[in-house]
A = this chain, B = another copy of it.
Amino acid sequence: MRLTSYTNYALRTLMYAALAHPRLVRVQDVADAYGISRTHLVKCVHHLGMWGYLINQRGRNGGFRLAREPEEISVAEIVRRTEEGFGSPSCGDADTSVLRLVDAVQRAQAAFLAVLERYTIADMTENADALRPILGFDIGHAA
């Protein structure tokens, strides 16, 4: 019952872009901020671009930025995209109709998403002043 790290990075990337909004952000910056590999994050950014959450720009002075306002992107929306196996959690058999278990788990998952539906990327970055230093935004984290 843990979310994949892919989902984690997707949400954090959106948060990072929201803090810089509407300026461009480079993948390398986000990778450095979270201490992960750039190549791993590139795929995540690429997908977010295809899904319409980011606008990606190649070439020199390129980067990416939010395609929508932070208030219009709910956390649940992203989780539903990144966690594909959300509809069939505990069994893939044909006997699901009699299994009350899968019904219960699906209700629990619905409750899980219902909570995340109430939060947006803007809510996550509400405390921007506290977040930016941690992510090495304005001030250098060593100076």
Interface residues, chain A, with chain B CB atoms under 8 Å away: 1-4, 7-8, 11-12, 15, 75, 79, 83, 85-86, 89-91, 95, 98-101, 104-105, 107-109, 111-116, 119, 123-127, 130-131, 134
Contacts and interface: CB of A to CB of B under 8 A. Distances in A.
A91 B86 CA distance: 21
Given A2-B85, A3-B1, A79-B1, A111 B115 contact: yes
B100 A123 contact: yes
A117 to B, nearest CB: 9
Contact of A105 (B3, B83, B125, B134): B3
Q: Main secondary structure on chain A at its contact with chain B?
A: helix
13 contacts: A1-B1, A1-B85, A2-B86, A3-B90, A7-B90, A95-B134, A100-B123, A100-B126, A100-B127, A104-B123, A105-B116, A108-B111, A108-B113
A112 B86 CA distance: 13
